[in-house]
Amino acid sequence: MQSQVNWALLGLVIERPSYAYELARRFERTYEGVLTLSSVSHVYTALAALRERTLIEELPGTRVGRQPKPHYKATAKGHAGYAEWLVGQVDEDLRRQRLFVLALSTFTRDPHAALGMLARYEQACLTEAGRSPIAPREEVCVGDTRALAGRLLAEESRLAIGAKLAWVEYARQELSVLADSRTVAS
């Protein structure tokens, strides 16, 4: 299953069995700025896809009344599949990073241009690092899972940016040596 929306929705069903409309609201709150639903009907399509793959199932007794709200819960296969997808994000991150480095490497014939690109990339990293929210411990409310998710996200971003900035230092040194050698040769 390729759809990030489908996997993210499965995660919400695992968190708490629910019905389509409520899942759409929770989706918007949880993944704001990261994933978007085209409309509420997007959730119905995603739930149908998850059911088809037996990753979720309808909770018995919830399709009743004048306005039935069938609730969904994750199956054992859904739990296992979700865990696998989460761990697989490491590969996805590495793939994205490889793509960036390979794309930058196309500039190595012109190391000065590559250094310029690197400087812009560094600036973007520095700006992002400054924007990272601060969450002092004294203001932390234990049990506030939404705030906890925010802190985990902030920390992951900060550490990732730290690694990128250190890599920029390394790349700059490599490219500077290359640029100097080209200057001497010419």
Question: Could you list the residues that contact another protein (CB under 8 A)?
Answer: 119, 122-127, 129-130, 132-139, 154-155, 158-159, 161-162, 165-166, 168-169, 172
Q: Which is nearer to another protein, 88 or 133 (CB)?
A: 133
Q: Which is nearer to another protein, 83 or 140 (CB)?
A: 140
Q: Minimal distance in Å, beta carbon 3 to another protein?
A: 33
Q: Minimal distance in Å, beta carbon 177 to another protein?
A: 12
Q: Minimal distance in Å, beta carbon 48 to another protein?
A: 42
Q: Which is nearer to another protein, 104 or 168 (CB)?
A: 168
Q: Which is nearer to another protein, 66 or 120 (CB)?
A: 120
Q: Minimal distance in Å, beta carbon 88 to another protein?
A: 26
What is the chain's alpha carbon radius of gyration, rounded to the nearest angstrom? 23
Judging by beta carbons within 10 Å of its beta carbon (0-12, 13-18, 19+), is residue 183 exposed, middle or buried? exposed
